[in-house]
Amino acid sequence: MKKILIISLLLVATMALFADSAVAFLAANRGRVELARNNRNLRFRAGEMLQNNDQIKTGNESYAAYKYVDGSSQVRVFANSIVRVRATTTNGSLNKTVAIDRGNVYSRVTRNTGSYRVETSNTVASVRGTGFLTKVDDEGYCSYIVEDGEIELMIRSTGERHLVGRGKTATIDPDGNVNIADSSEDDLSELDNAEEQAGEEANIRTIRVPVQNETGEIKYIEIQY
């Protein structure tokens, strides 16, 4: 916990000096992972700083994880997924959005650390401290499996809102019809399988933090944790 706090403080301090503000950093990746910015693929490695609207795409048997620079949230992107990393700052708080085009994405969010939302083609989920898995398929169906905490689910087509709590699964079809029920054994297995797909991340990781000096030159600080 102390390491995470120190890293978060360092990141927040250095981001204030960086002209193109980073909003997150890539904590881990495995297999075929693509990172795109402004419709251009980038060469990257674990520790890469992510900017608003960057896109992460994973292939078969692949995995990526990123963390927001305020230290509040971790996002795990599983195989065959496409997500966009989005965030804006309001009154000193980082308001975070994970936009999912398709695939399976697990979110772990700390309370009282700015807003956190997950967006799909037909839903918006607002979160205040929870852990949950979001699944989006190619036909427009999506589901939210809530491990703990609670999410507020808004249906785009109707504006109706639903609370989905711990141990519940919400399933939404392309027309916006919602079904909320106790999580089934299959749902719980999905959570377990997601953890297995992630595998064991390396004990030591490196974050490359960009810093602008007095002459405007960009340097990088490497932080191992």
Residue from 96, 154, 31, 57 nearest 144 by CA = 154
- As beta bridge partners, residue 186 has none
What tens digit of pLDDT does each residue of 30-70 get?
999 999 999 999 988 878 899 999 999 999 999 999 999 88
Residue 49's identity, in one-letter code, is M
Q: Are strands 161-165 and 168-172 parallel, antiparallel or unpaired?
A: unpaired
pLDDT at 221 over 70: no
Output DSSP code: residue 198: H
- Class of the domain covering 2-224: mainly beta
Residue-range domain boundaries for the chain: 2-224
Mean pLDDT of the chain: 82
In this prediction, residues 80-86 reach a mean pLDDT of 97
Please state, in angstroms and rounded to a whole number, the distance separating the CA atoms of residues 41 and 207: 20
* pLDDT: which is higher, 190 or 170: 170
Interval 100-156: pLDDT, tens: 999 999 999 987 678 999 999 999 999 977 899 999 999 999 999 999 999 999 999
Q: Is 66 helix (H, G, I), strand (E, B) or coil?
A: strand
Mean pLDDT of 205-214: 51
Distance CA 85, CA 2 (A): 26
pLDDT score recorded for residue 213: 44
Contacts of 153 (CB under 8 A, 6+ apart): 123, 124, 125, 144, 161, 162, 163, 164, 170, 172, 178
- Please give the distance of CA 110 from its chain centroid, rounded to a whole number: 12
> Taking a C-beta distance cutoff of 8 angstroms, is the pair 155, 180 a contact?
no
Q: In three state form, how does the secondary structure of 135-159 look?
A: EECCCCCEEEEEEEEEEEEEECCCC
